[in-house]
Chains A and B, each alone.
Chain A
Amino acid sequence: MDLYVILRRNGWSSPEELSEAAARSTAEGERMADDVRWIRSYVLEEGAGVGTVCVYEASSPEAIRRHAAAADLPCDEIVRVADTVVVRDDPAKAAA
């Protein structure tokens, strides 16, 4: 399993929609526990709505896309993470 960054720009028009999406993402993630593991997300302010940058551990980019299709999440771009460099911990964690 490799680590991937997923961009979901402008995915939702409100934070409420996003938390519905998060619930679906968790539900589908349970079904695909061997293939995708949601690590963390940053919620992006997009003006007319919100988007996310997500970090997932996954067996392949296709697994990420399958998960997104099942959970009805947008999936603009997938990039493989070559290395993780933590300089400081996040200042505050948002609940998943």
Chain B
Amino acid sequence: MDGLLERESQLAALAAALEEARTTGRLVLVQGEAGAGKTALVKRFGELARDRARFLYGRCDPLLAPRTFGPVAEVAAAAGGDLAAAVESGAPAYDVLHPLLDELRREPTVVVLEDLHWADQATLDLLRLVGRRADETRALVVATFRDVEPSHPLRVAIGELAGAAGIRRVTVPPLSLDAVRLLTEPAGLDAAELHRLTGGNAFFVTEVLTAGAGRVPETVRDAVVARLASLGPAARGLLDVLAVLLDRAEAALLAELAPEELDAAPACLAAGIVVADGGTLAFRHELARLAVDELLPPGRRLELHRRILRALTARGADSARLAHHAEGAHDAGAVMEHATAAADRAIRAGAHREAAAQLGRALRFADALVPADRAELLERRAHECYLIDAIDDALTAKAEALELRRSLGDLLKVGDLLRMSSYCLWLVARNDDALAAAEAAVELLETLPPGRELAWVYANMAHRARVALDPAGAREWAHRAAELAERVGADDAAADALVTLGAVDAMDGLGATGLERAVAHARARGLDGIAARGIAALAFSAVRARAWDEAERRLAEGLEFTTERDIDTWRSYLLAWRGVARLDQGRWNEATADAERALTIGLAPVNRASALATLGLVRLRRGDPGADAPLEESLAIVAASATSSHRLVPAAVIRAEQASLAGDPAGALAATRVAEPHELADRWMAGELAAWRARLGDPVADPGPLPEPYALELAGDHAAAARAWDALGCPYDAALALAHADDVDALRDAHARLQELGAVPAAAVVARRLRERGVRSIPRGPRPSTRAHPAGLTRRELEVLALVREGLRNAEIAARLAISDKTVDHHVSAILAKLGARTRSEAARLAAELEDGEPAART
């Protein structure tokens, strides 16, 4: 094939992106199934644009635990300079970012990163960071990848970039029937049949066509195998080596690995299974490699891994690659050496996912280790698993380490492990086990000379007490921790205790100064995890107080911090709480976006519960399908982790809302009886509970002091309550307050507000109440077709027009509104038509006239 079929629009999109990148950088995501022809597309683009920019290439390999910064290292090596130095030094993504951005600003550059579905965490982190600042460079970054499940780290990284300006998407779809027809005509095969069989997959189609007439292969694998049939044993031997090597191979390496078989290289090239590229030999496609690989007998595979391991070790290859071959060669010593080296490299670069995988690999071959070394390896793995939120794996590793340490009589380590296990158990909502472990840790460590470990136990107990809403207990433990920490010089434990004390003060309504100071203290000492916890507590208290401006500010600060430092547990927590904040502000689309993102990042149940509740409540309030599942899951997590009935109150108000919307007031009332409002420390929660009790006809006699909107509603002044909610910026709460009033005006207002919010079930309930009071004319719903604007422009068209009047081009408008360029084009055409204008400037002028002068006739 000379040219590429059906790729004109994709090539045009890449060319356009390259043009745009001359002034503001672009990131193009190229997506398509395996064998769709992504590499061919990118290669063709490279040929066409060769003279317009410098091209740098990087590739990812299908390793179980990929090399840290794999593709980036290739790019950096080609670019040289500071970037190469940064990557080689083993710095984390944040520190590689700036040399990379500098490199991308220097001259028009295209960076091609292929097969990112196999990318390591450090590369994905860098991609996220670069993606958000692509427009600061003069580079075009082209990233290719296969379709992956939503929970795949690549999808998560791309999801983070979704709103950023400067991102473009190109899909490489299967070939159409017409294209297949064009290809099959000369060969005389049945195009429709071939299209059906291959699904239009470009690689599969070419495989079949090359196989020629005769038996048509049923799968890609069969097609490749058919090609192999014509090759002799020497060629097969060469291909076997290449298959296990997983990478392009230079002639010199192949000469060492397959001296007798190298002569068969031309035959392999002629058969089209491999391609030569600048002195290296590689499979034409991963699918071909897989097919050959699957045919390898285990003994042969093992022998090849051994040979390759020897050759690559002598060449000083990357330790992740060596660990892979060491495992395949069943060489325990080599696995231990290279897997731990790869893990060290990954940890330095912040690629904790790969570190955990490499340490797990080392453990599989750790039988020869003495117990102390094995325990240390387990402890390292546990820590990495904790960092990537794989808490169950962390607990398993800790438990095994604990037994080893106990058998060694290392009580200090046992105590510390008990403490860390306690923290993890709390994260997975196994609260009783967590408390037991913590108490065992205290008991054990108090029998030993006091040290860092004991200070940390006290700090953890303080944190736990605060979370269990026991401020007095929290203060006591925190002071004990701080005092001991100072004595033994455990700065980190001291900082942690300070954060807890600050958070308790904030919880008790004593203001946030203590907490702010504690965060600054932790940041100054580079204690990122502890600082993140403090920032999260600051955000949390602002959200609970419904101080939206402050809350948004703290959440933004926290998210930036945790994103840059890669602290996933707290990032997911902050996203979940931003979801709650948006939920309460009536910004439901944003709320679900945050909740969904929190759920894909964080696995710890503690974080999941609030995100699931947000998702479920938005669906419940809109009447959208699928409200029950996330709500039930959230309530189950809370129930399992509840340490006091007070923790069940948020669940109770959710159940009350659920039941009342489902027309089950008795069930709703039963749900609210889980606690009495006057008992609760959180007065907002007390108010919500008291309000539901009153709405359901069983008012509480003395709820205690309540926040203004709830107090007003309970006093019977629903209109004032709504005004108070409006002042706080809580539209759904305002509507609910009105919805439970008795007078028709309030109910009408509630109905209109609920419809405006899209709260269909609640609006229906209010409509029913209105009809019961004899009201007939209840509006059916907001009519998007009714326009208040004289020329009949919609709200969105007015938004676009405003940006046109500011002088923005369509691409800039698209970026600002987070919609596609084409959509903006359509809006602009519609605006011109409605205003009767021929140009944008005429439209701007006419719009201004309409605003100042008399409105034209209404539509």
Contacts and interface: CB of A to CB of B under 8 A. Distances in A.
A27 B822 CA distance: 6
Nearest to B795: A72
Top 4 closest A-B pairs, CB basis? A27-B822, A80-B625, A72-B796, A61-B624
A59 interface: yes
B576 to A, nearest CB: 15
29 contacts: A10-B784, A10-B785, A12-B784, A17-B785, A20-B826, A20-B829, A23-B826, A28-B819, A30-B169, A30-B820, A30-B822, A31-B169, A33-B31, A34-B150, A34-B155, A60-B626, A61-B622, A61-B625, A62-B592, A65-B592, A69-B589, A70-B819, A70-B820, A71-B819, A71-B823, A72-B827, A76-B760, A78-B625, A80-B625
A43 interface: no
B781 A78 contact: no
A83 interface: no
A49 B826 contact: no
Given A11-B785, A12-B785, A13-B785, A62 B593 contact: yes
Interface of A: 4, 9-13, 17, 20, 23-24, 26-28, 30-31, 33-34, 48-49, 59-62, 65-66, 69-72, 74-80
Given A13-B785, A27-B820, A31-B169, A59 B794 contact: no
Contacts of A31: 169, 819-820
Contacts of B796: 72
Contacts of A49: 785
The listed residue with most B CB atoms (<10 A of its CB), out of A33, A48, A65, A69, is: A65
A74 B820 CA distance: 18
A4 B624 CA distance: 10
Given A31-B820, A33-B171, A66-B589, A24 B827 contact: yes
A65 B820 CA distance: 16
Contacts of A34: 147, 150, 155
Contacts of A80: 625-626
Interface in B776-795: 781, 783-785, 794
A35 to B, nearest CB: 9
B823 A24 contact: yes
B154 to A, nearest CB: 12
Contacts of A61: 619, 622, 624-626
B16 to A, nearest CB: 15
B818 interface: yes
Given A20-B826, A59-B150, A70-B818, A4 B859 contact: no
Contacts of B619: 61
B593 A66 contact: yes
A11 B794 CA distance: 12
Interface residues of B, number: 37
Given A27-B822, A30-B820, A31-B169, A20 B626 contact: no
Contacts, number: 89
A66 B159 CA distance: 13
Interface in B587-632: 589, 592-593, 596, 615, 618-619, 622-626
Contacts of A28: 819-820, 823
Given A34-B147, A66-B589, 14 more contacts: A20-B826, A23-B826, A24-B823, A24-B826, A30-B169, A34-B150, A60-B626, A61-B625, A61-B626, A62-B615, A62-B618, A65-B624, A72-B794, A72-B823
The listed residue with most A CB atoms (<10 A of its CB), out of B623, B818, B820, B822, is: B820
A62 B75 CA distance: 38
B830 interface: yes
A2 to B, nearest CB: 8
A58 B794 CA distance: 27
Contact of B596 (A10, A13, A27, A60): A60
A23 B758 CA distance: 25
Q: Is the interface of A mostly helix, strand, loop or mixed?
A: mixed
Contacts of A69: 589
Contacts of B819: 27-28, 31, 70-71
Contacts of A26: 822
A27 B169 CA distance: 12
Contacts of A33: 31, 169, 171
Contacts of A4: 625
A78 B31 CA distance: 29
A31 B162 CA distance: 10
Interface string B788-831: 00000010100000000000000000000011111100110110
Nearest to A33: B171
Contacts of A20: 826, 829-830
B823 A79 contact: no
Contacts of A65: 589, 592, 624
Nearest to A61: B624
Contacts of B823: 24, 27-28, 70-72
A63 to B, nearest CB: 9
Contacts of B822: 23-24, 26-27, 30
A70 to B, nearest CB: 5
Nearest to A11: B784
B717 to A, nearest CB: 33
B157 to A, nearest CB: 14
Contacts of B821: 27
B580 to A, nearest CB: 16
Contacts of B830: 20
B826 A79 contact: no
Nearest to B758: A75
A76 B781 contact: yes
Contacts of B626: 60-61, 80
B527 to A, nearest CB: 36
A78 B624 contact: yes
A27 B827 CA distance: 12
A70 B822 CA distance: 12
Nearest to A22: B826
A77 B826 contact: no
A10 B780 CA distance: 10
A13 B829 CA distance: 17
A71 B822 CA distance: 10
Contacts of B625: 4, 61, 78-80
A14 to B, nearest CB: 9
Nearest to A49: B785
Contacts of A23: 822, 826
B27 to A, nearest CB: 14
A69 B758 CA distance: 13
Contacts of B784: 10-12, 74
Interface string B752-772: 000000101000000000000
Interface in B661-716: none
A62 to B, nearest CB: 4
Contact of A27 (B147, B150, B826): B826
Interface in B109-159: 147, 150, 155
A24 B615 CA distance: 27
Contacts of A78: 622, 624-625
Nearest to B786: A13
Interface in B421-456: none
Nearest to B781: A76
Nearest to B800: A72
Interface in B818-849: 818-823, 826-827, 829-830
A9 B589 contact: no
B146 to A, nearest CB: 12
The listed residue with most A CB atoms (<10 A of its CB), out of B147, B818, B826, is: B826
A39 B389 CA distance: 38
The listed residue with most B CB atoms (<10 A of its CB), out of A12, A62, A71, A78, is: A62
Contacts of A24: 822-823, 826-827
Contacts of A70: 818-820, 823
Contacts of B818: 70
Nearest to A8: B784
B648 to A, nearest CB: 28
Contacts of B826: 20, 23-24, 27
Contact of A77 (B592, B593, B623, B820): B623
